[in-house]
Structure 1
C-alpha cells in the first residue's frame, strides 16, 4: 500500500513539475536564452529529491574550458544525478531518442545523439560535440558505451574521445580538458548498500526500464557519491588511447574509494 502511494506521488510530482517548466523551456530554446541550460538543472535537482536520490559531491567541476566530463555509467539515474550538480549536455546513444518520456526529455535538454554502429555518420556527430565544447558547454561522455552493475568500471572506448581531438583546432589554448567523474551508489535508507540492493543501483542493458524504474521509486532514499577528479589536458600531441586508459583508471579509483567508504572531503 505504502509503495503504491509512493509511486503515485512520484508520477504525479513528475507530471506537475514537467508540465509547469515545459513551456518555459520551449520558449528559452526558441530564443536561445541561457535559461535553457539552467532550467534542466533545476528540474534534475527537484526530481532527485522526489525520486529519493541523495547526491553527495566530492571535488569540484573544473572551471577550465573547453571541458569534457568522462564518467562511468550505472543507470538512467546517472542523468538525474549529474544533471542536478551542473549545467551539462549529455552524449546519448541514438536509441534514447525514441524512448518514452526519457527520450523526449533528452531532446528538450539538447542532448547529442550518436549512432555508434553507423561509421559514415561519425564525422558529423563528432563535429556536433566539438562545436558544443568550443561554445563553452560542458559535455558528458559515458565512455563505457553501456550501463553496468555499479560495482566496476568497464573498458573505455578510446574512439569516443574523437570529439576532443576535433575541438582542438578551435580551442583557445589548443587544448581540451577532460575531467574524470565517478558515480557510485553506496547506500539505501542510510545503510550501506549490500549485495541484495545492488540491483536497485545498477541497470544492465538486459533489464527492462519500467520495472527497474518502479523498483527505484519504491525504495527511495538512495545515497549517491559523485567524485570529480583532476583534469587531463588533451592537445595535438596527446595519444588518445593512453588518455582513455588514464581517465578510465581515475574513474575506477574514484568508484572503488566510494564503494569502500574511503572518500574524503
Structure 2
C-alpha cells in the first residue's frame, strides 16, 4: 500500500506541475479553456486517486450558484470532476502552500467569512463572476463536517442570489455530496474519517492516510434548481436548500437508491431556521 501511495503522489505532483503553466497561460489570455482545464484535470486526478464518481441528476446550465455540503479537501476533486465551476473559499486557503496556488488557478473566489461588513463586497464579486458566465460552488456551512451531519446553512452566503444577473434571476442548485464505498464496501461511521477532514487535523497526514486506503466511490446528486423568486427571503432559500442536501446525503450514507424523490416545490415563506442551528444527522450505516 505504501509503495502505491508513493507512486500515486509522485504522478500527481508531476501531472500537476505539467498543467500549472498551461492554466496560467489560459487565464492570462482569457481563453474559454480556462474553465474547462480544471474540469479535465480533476477528472484525471479522481482516476489517479481511484475515486469512482457516481453522478445523479445533472448540473443546470451556467451560470449557476451550486450549494453543497462540505466534508473534505476531496470535495474539490469530486465536484470539479462533474462540473465546470470555481469555488468560493475562505481567504486563508489562498495562503496555503501548493494548494493555495491550485485554488487560485481554478479562479477561486476568496471571502472573509467571519467579517460580516465585507459581505456586500463578496456578494458583488460573486455576482460579477456570474455575470461573466462562470458557475460557482458555495459551501454554506462555512466549514467541513464529519460526513455524517450537516451544519445549518448561513443565509448571508446566499446574498449573491438576491439580485438578477444579466437581467435574469440567479439559478441556485443544491448538491448532495457523500462518500459511499471504500474498498468496495459501505463506508459507514467506522471508515468515514478516511474521507472527512475536520477540526485541526493536518492536511498531509490525512492525505497520506487516504492514499493508502484503497479505491473508493463518491456520490454527487444534483437537486432541483431554484431562484430567489421562489422564496420570500434568502433565509427561506437557505432552509430549503439545506433540506434537499440533507435528504440526499442521508440516502448516500444509508446506501439507499437516490434520485427518485419528488422534492416539494419551494414556497414563498421563510421557514424557522436560524444560522446558529445545530448540525443535523444524515444517517449512516455501520
Number of aligned residue pairs: 259
- Let me know the Cα RMSD of the aligned residues: 1.5
**Cross-structure match for 1:117:** 114
Structure 1's consecutive aligned runs of 4 or more residues displaced over 4 angstroms after TM superposition are: none
Q: Secondary structure at the match of 2:212?
A: helix
Contact 2:231 2:237 survives alignment (8 Å): no
Higher helix share: 1
Q: What whole-Å deviation, never above 9, does each CA across 1:77-104 have from its counterpart, x for those lacking one?
A: 0000000111101000011111121111
Looking at structure 2, the residues matched to 238 and 104 of structure 1 have their Cα atoms a distance apart, in angstroms, of: 39
Ranges in structure 2 where 5+ consecutive residues have no aligned partner: 260-286
Q: 1:119 to 1:154 in 2, by over 3 A?
A: closer
Looking at structure 1, the residues matched to 231 and 143 of structure 2 have their Cα atoms a distance apart, in angstroms, of: 29
Contact 1:189 1:220 survives alignment (8 Å): yes
How do 1:108-147 and structure 2 match up within 5 A?
108-147=105-144
- Alignment TM-score, normalising by the size of structure 1: 0.93
Q: What whole-Å deviation, never above 9, does each CA across 1:185-229 have from its counterpart, x for those lacking one?
A: 111011111332111121112222111111111113111110000
Ranges in structure 1 where 5+ consecutive residues have no aligned partner: none
Q: Secondary structure at the match of 1:70?
A: strand
**Cross-structure match for 1:201:** 195
Q: Secondary structure at the match of 2:150?
A: coil
**Cross-structure match for 2:167:** 172
Alignment of 1:107 with 2:101, yes or no, is no
**Cross-structure match for 1:38:** 36
Alignment of 1:219 with 2:213, yes or no, is yes
Q: Secondary structure at the match of 1:83?
A: helix
**Cross-structure match for 1:150:** 147
- Alignment TM-score, normalising by the size of structure 2: 0.87
Q: What whole-Å deviation, never above 9, does each CA across 1:23-61 have from its counterpart, x for those lacking one?
A: 211111110001111111111011111112111000000
Contact 1:52 1:217 survives alignment (8 Å): no
Could you tell me which of 55, 78, 82 is aligned with 2:53?
55
